[in-house]
Every structure is written in structure tokens, then in C-alpha cells.
Amino acid sequence: MSENPFAPRPDMQVWFGTQIVDVGEARVSVFDHALLYGDGVFEGIRIYNGKIFKEKEHIKRYFESAKAIRLEVPMTAEQVSKAMYDTMAANGIAGDGYIRLLLTRGIGSLGISTKHTACPTVIVIADKIALYPPEYYERGLRCVVSSFTRNHCNSTSPRVKSLNYLNNIMAKLEAQDAGADEAIMLNPSGQVAECTGDNLFLIRDGVLLTPPASEGILEGITRNLVMDLARKRGMEVREVAMIRHDLYVADEIFATGTAAEVIPIVEVDRRPVGNGKPGTITMQLNQDFVDYRNA
């Protein structure tokens, strides 16, 4: 049997619980509620030029997600920051990279109750990531609107960056089955929410439009930055509810996220967006993002 090309490097070091260990020693119990029920939270964080990008914002959201599901982080924000930098150093990451910061509920019983779960476990992985091949940023993504509805805000709130991503995964699988690159998800009211792992922006008549957090989206950190960059260019930015029709008639569409950064969308449900090529404003905002991150 051939080796798994996606397996971690055998020399990788990860933060597990209270210390850095070899990746082979970082073992989550089969009784951890993160495995049994997807019970935990995470953050995906970029490293640029040896610095953790938007570190305070990511740590703040990490703690907010944990609080929302009544999960206590067994470390302070300062300790989490140190754990991330220590993990970077242990893996020799001095340039660009990616951090996956996780928090599991801990070991519990086979029942759904959390009364007897042990201490939550903090995990930090520092590595590289490329969500889309480089050529996708030049030609843009082809998307479909998914039949899988984004979670209702009174179910598993999309504002919690939960370890349970099944909703998103099913939409992604549907997109792949349709020969598309990505799926756009609607909320239970039929309004535009987000992609399977990224926030969504539309441009119409020079105005930048994006669904508000109340429409069932993750309040993205890259999303907030791109809105700031657009305002600095004098663009009008609106957080408004939108429907599928707005996707079909948009001049430009793009997605934003920590892993994806800023990536154009050129097709939705076999309908070209604009002229079917990455838009001028999209590419300018992408360059603004690159300049900001490299500053």
C-alpha cells in the first residue's frame, strides 16, 4: 500500500495539551467528545513573514467560540499566543505558514452528556497550506448554489467556528459532484450566506455587498479587513441580505478567508459572473490585501 501523501511529516512537532510533542505522540482519545460528537472549536490562522497574522482577532474569536458552547479554554490568551509561537519555532517556520488552533471538549463518556468530561485539550499545529492551486486565482472559481442549507443560527451557530463542519462538507461534496470548485450556501430563509469555508462578496455598480453576520455567516477576519481596505479606496460597502438572483446579476463576486485569502468567482450555476473573468475591483482588492499582509 502506498503512503498517504497528506500524512504529516514524521519530524513535525505539535502543541498538545501543555507542551510540544512529536506528532506521533499527539493522540486524541477515542473517548474525546471532539471525536465522538465534533464537540470543540478551532481557528485557522496565517503566518506571514514569521508573524501570526491578525493574532489578537483570531485568539479573541477562539475564546468567543469556546464561550458560546460553554467550553473553557484552560490557558490565557497570552499562553495561547506563546504556544503558537513555540510550535512555529519547533517546526522551523520563520517565513510564511499556517496554524490550526484547536480546542477539544476532552475525554468523556459515550453518552452525549458533558457532565463527566475531563479537562479540554488545546492543540496547535503549524504547517503550510494551499487551499486552491495558484492558477485558480488567475482564472477564478466556478461555483454552484448548494441544496444544503447553512445551519440555522439557533442550531449550531455559524458564528461559532465549531469542529463540526458536516454541513459545509456536504455542500462541498455536492459542488465537487457537479464539477464545480466551490459551493455557495443559502440560509434557511433562502438568502445568501457564505461559501463552504469562506465569506462572500458581490460587486454591483461599484458598490461592495456582503451578507451581514445575522444572515448565518462566520464573522470572518479576512472579511472585515477587506471591507476596511475597500473603504480606504472610497468604495461604498454595504452589509445587506441578498438572494440567489443577486448572485446571477452581480458584476463581480469573490470569496475571502484565512486560507483562501481573496479569490475571484467567475461562474455561479453555469452563469458567468460579469464577463466570466476575474473582475478589476476584485483584483485590486486582492492586491491591497497582499500589500497589507506584506507591510
| Residue 85 neighbours by CB under 8 Å, 6+ apart | 52
Which of 103, 127, 151 delimits the end of a domain?
127
Quick one: 123 and 143 in the same domain? Answer: no
CA distance 63 to 178: 37
Active site residue 161: yes
Quick one: 113 and 144 in the same domain? Answer: no
Task: Choose, from 51, 161, 172, 277, the residue flagged as catalytic.
Answer: 161
Q: Residue 1 pLDDT more than 60?
A: no
Quick one: 103 and 214 in the same domain? Answer: no
Total structural domains within the chain = 2
Quick one: 28 and 98 in the same domain? Answer: yes
Range of the domain at 68: 13-127
CA distance 121 to 15: 10
pTM score: 0.94
For position 117, what pLDDT does the model report?
A: 83
CATH of the domain at 41: 3.30.470.10
Quick one: 170 and 252 in the same domain? Answer: yes
Determine, yes or no, domain membership for 50: yes
Quick one: 286 and 199 in the same domain? Answer: yes
Determine, yes or no, domain membership for 6: no
Which of 127, 159, 193 delimits the end of a domain?
127
Residues 219-237, mean pLDDT to the nearest whole number: 98
Residues 178-184, mean pLDDT to the nearest whole number: 98
pLDDT digits (tens, 9 = 90+) for 156-173: 899 999 999 999 999 999
Residues 2-30, mean pLDDT to the nearest whole number: 87
Quick one: 228 and 244 in the same domain? Answer: yes
Residues 255-283, mean pLDDT to the nearest whole number: 97
Determine, yes or no, domain membership for 8: no
CATH of the domain at 160: 3.20.10.10
**Which candidate, 74, 87, 81, places its Cα nearest to that of 21?**
87
pLDDT digits (tens, 9 = 90+) for 54-91: 999 999 999 999 999 999 999 999 999 999 999 999 99
| Extended beta strands in 51-152, E state | 51-52, 97-104, 121-127, 141-145
Determine, yes or no, domain membership for 242: yes
Determine, yes or no, domain membership for 2: no
pLDDT digits (tens, 9 = 90+) for 111-152: 888 887 888 999 999 999 888 889 999 999 999 999 999 999
For position 49, what pLDDT does the model report?
A: 95
Quick one: 143 and 69 in the same domain? Answer: no
For position 3, what pLDDT does the model report?
A: 64
Which of 127, 159, 177 delimits the end of a domain?
127
Determine, yes or no, domain membership for 119: yes
CA distance 274 to 272: 6
Q: Residue 294 pLDDT more than 50?
A: yes
Quick one: 142 and 262 in the same domain? Answer: yes
